[in-house]
Amino acid sequence: MKTGLQRQEENIKFLRSVPLLQNLPTDKLAKIADVLEVDFYHEGDFIIREGAVGDTFFIINKGEVQVTQKIAGFDDPKEIRRLDRGQYFGEKALLSEDRRTANVIALAPGVECLTVDRESFNSLIGDLNELKEKDY
């Protein structure tokens, strides 16, 4: 059995390996590790739906996701990229207080994400320059 403390230490170690969070001091990483939740998704699950309202930021801990977006004139959304362990998504709706800009779908065999809610995102992550400068 893993204790809560072991889980917390594992999460801090993983967060330290996430390029976005690389320059954060340990006390901030510990705060993120305190508030994050772990979510699991099966292959094909829509983690995010384009156009929905959203209040959650995601960091991929295991697996891979497909990002798709509606293209004017086409029925089916088109794949724009894939993301895997250590990468993040869901920041755009939080930064702009707007709707989700794309679909994010779990690929096989499933996905584990660390999630942070809007309030914690605002106080711990939202100010990072990489996020504000991100230009897809």
Binding site for ligand 6JR (CB under 6 A): 48, 54, 67, 80-81, 89-93, 100-102, 104, 136
For ligand 6JR, the closer CB: 9 or 126: 126
| Shortest spacing between CB 2 and ligand 6JR, in angstroms | 30
Which residue number, 24 or 91, has a Cβ lying nearer to ligand 6JR?
Answer: 91
For the chain, first and last CA: distance in Å?
Answer: 42
Q: How far is the CB of 16 from ligand 6JR (least distance, A)?
A: 21
CA-CA distance, 28 to 78, in Å (whole number)? 37
Q: Which residues contact 17 (CB under 8 A, 6 or more apart)?
A: 86
From the CB of 27, what's the least distance to ligand 6JR, in Å?
A: 26
Distance CA 87, CA 60 (A): 6
Rounded least distance, CB 126 to ligand 6JR, Å: 12
Amino acid in position 81:
R
Beta carbons within 8 Å of 123's beta carbon, 6+ residues apart: none
Task: Determine the Cα–Cα distance for residues 52 and 70; give it in Å rounded to an integer.
Answer: 13
Instruction: Identify whether the C-beta of residue 11 lies closer than 8 Å to the C-beta of residue 33.
Output: yes
Q: CB nearer to ligand 6JR: give 9 or 100.
A: 100
- Select 15 or 67, whichever has its Cβ closest to ligand 6JR: 67
